[in-house]
Amino acid sequence: MTSHKPRTIATLFALIVLTLAFTIAPAVQAAGSTLTWSLEGINDLNSLDPAKATDAPVNTVLSLIYGGLVRLDADLHVAPDLAESWTISEDNLTYTFKLRADAKFSDGSPITADDVVWSITRAVAPGGSGDGLFRLGNIAGAAEFNADTAKDLTGIKAVDAQTVEIKVVQPTAFFLDQLTYTLAKVLSKKAADADPNWADKPVSSGAFSIQEWNHNQNIILVPNTNYWQPATNISTLTLPFFQDSETAFQLYRTGGLDIMGSQQNGVPSSHVAEVANDPDFRQTASFAVRYIAFNNKIAPFDNVKVRQALALAIDKKTLAEQVLAGTVDPTDRILPAGFPGSELPIKGLSFDADAAKAALAEAGIKPEDLKFKLTYGVEGDNERVVTVLQSFWKENLGIDVTLEPLELSTFSARLDETYKTPESGLQAYYSIWGADYPDPQNFISQQLRTDVGNNNSHYSNADFDKLVDQADVLNGDLKARLNLYNQAEQLAVTEVGWLPLYSPKLNVLVKPYVKGIVFNGQGLFIPDYSALEGKTS
């Protein structure tokens, strides 16, 4: 075995990622301060079980109450968390993690290798949410275990009480990054065995534990004094739920919130100009893309010319600058600006009404015969955006599109149904993808490879698959790896595997007394809980 320092592709863009740390750890902290941080886009958390996490607001809470083997630091590098160190075998197939000797759960019980093995095993167990195999399928035996053709997850084992060994099926340059995600958080097996309802108030392995979960209202967290980092001096962290960002914005303006905004939601675009010069306002490019996807398994979207016609008919510049008042950046590509690989060029399908008409004619379809439904989740600017898309298609192609609004959880469920049974699934949908971790694999092969778990549009191209299969396993040659992803991205853009529209800007409001939270394209997170400060009484 050879020892390795924590490594991630994020080192590539340590100099180009825009990290606005409106906090540096202060020397003296206010004891007993409080923090109120809104979670927009939800009425409640669907679960506190990491294996059932479905959206960004839930993941925000889970990242506060659970620790993992590793985490992302302020510069988006992989750093130790509950594991103090690790080694990687020469063939890049075996990872060995050494847990901290004093690692404990919030109830004071030790965090052991058995807890880690049990937590990751259940994340990919059959009958789960499906995300486990999607995000942790590189672990040896995961596919067989998830399919219920194997009794155990063979790729992970406890070597001893403080040592965990994980084997992967192929060299995976992004595996450590994947382990920073919510699904790999560590749970207490003892607590889960003792109480079948453990997820209602779970034992914590992270910096905070749960004081109270008031359903459809908020969740209140308190410090976990057993967490390995020096304890936070925040006495209570309250996270209220808001279906609509507008409501959260108004409450912030009247002093009811200390932080407003997160990765996928934030200050509504209609208010950005109003707060642009406010010292509380923070803005940066998001590691996310808003896009339209078409169900490639059903006519007429199985015809690439139809998809290209619809893409060419959209004036993204007008959408971004006039409709959304310059609060987003129009894009013709899948990778967000500033993300690894985004420095390599892509030729996109820019607005061209004549070319759109020509593509539709080449598809052999008359405008009056092309009618379909565009489905979207109800939140923020979504209704305004899809209404404009509807008008672009009518004006530039002469086609009629019906809009279908759904509550966010229902929309998410319909996406799952579209993956499982595409013939009866959504025709087309407007959605967003935000980075789980800073690696192009998370946007390219993990979204658009044939039959991969999140490929709800069922885009499929053998050449694309070949390129990403090579890139996914390539270790030691970053330039070559990024070039492979770039070629695959070009194919997906040309064939409209996704129709990228724009990258949102993260727009958040933070009171000046809040310290210890880092703001970058990945969102808001806390690299050092001992640096966290809120409102003092």
Q: What's the pLDDT at 436? A: 85
- Is the preceding omega at residue 300 within 30 degrees of 0, hence cis? yes
pLDDT, tens only, 464-510: 999 999 999 998 888 999 999 999 999 999 999 999 999 988 889 99
**pLDDT score at 128:** 63
Per-residue pLDDT reduced to its tens digit, 126-183: 876 557 888 898 999 999 999 899 999 999 999 999 999 999 999 988 999 999 999 9
Cα R_g (the chain), whole angstroms: 23
Is residue 9's pLDDT more than 70? no
Residue pLDDT, tens place only, 101-130: 999 999 999 999 999 999 999 999 987 655
| Predicted local confidence at residue 145, as pLDDT | 94
Segment 432-441, tens digit of pLDDT: 998 888 899 9
- What average pLDDT does the structure give for the chain? 90
Structure tokens at 65: 């109450």
Amino acid letter for position 64: L
Domain boundaries in the chain? 2-238+511-531, 288-505
Assigned token pair, 327: 């609060």
Residue with tokens 């890049």: 92
Which pairing describes strands 218-223 and 19-20: parallel, antiparallel, or unpaired? unpaired
Q: Helices (DSSP H) in 147-289: which residue ranges? A: 175-178, 189-194, 245-253, 269-275
pLDDT of res. 179: 96
- Domain at 288-505: CATH code: 3.10.105.10
Beta bridge partners of 2: 88
Specify the 3-state DSSP secondary structure of 187: coil
- pLDDT tens figures, 360-370: 999 999 999 99
What's domain 2-238+511-531's superfamily in CATH?
Periplasmic binding protein-like II (3.40.190.10)
Q: How far apart, in whole angstroms, are the C-alpha atoms of residue 82 and residue 164? A: 11
Backbone angles phi, psi at 3, to 5 degrees: -80, 140
Nearest to 412 by CA among 34, 118, 55, 159: 55
Contact by Cβ (8 Å): 306, 363 = yes
417-450 residue pLDDT tens:
999 999 999 999 999 998 888 899 999 999 999 9
pTM of the predicted model as reported, rounded to 2 decimal places: 0.81
Mean of pLDDT values over 380-386: 91
pLDDT-derived band at 381, boundaries 50, 70, 90: confident
| pLDDT score of 485 | 98
First to last CA, the chain: 53
Average pLDDT over residues 219-237: 94
More confident site: 217 or 1: 217
Looking at the DSSP assignment, which residues form a beta bridge with residue 432? 290
More confident residue, 25 or 385: 385
Amino acid 530: pLDDT: 92
Mean pLDDT in residue range 264-281: 86
DSSP 5-48: ----GGGGGTTTS-EE-S----SS--TTEEEEB-EES-SS-S-S
Between 94 and 40, the more confident residue is 94
Pick from 58-62, 325-329, 350-354: least confident: 325-329
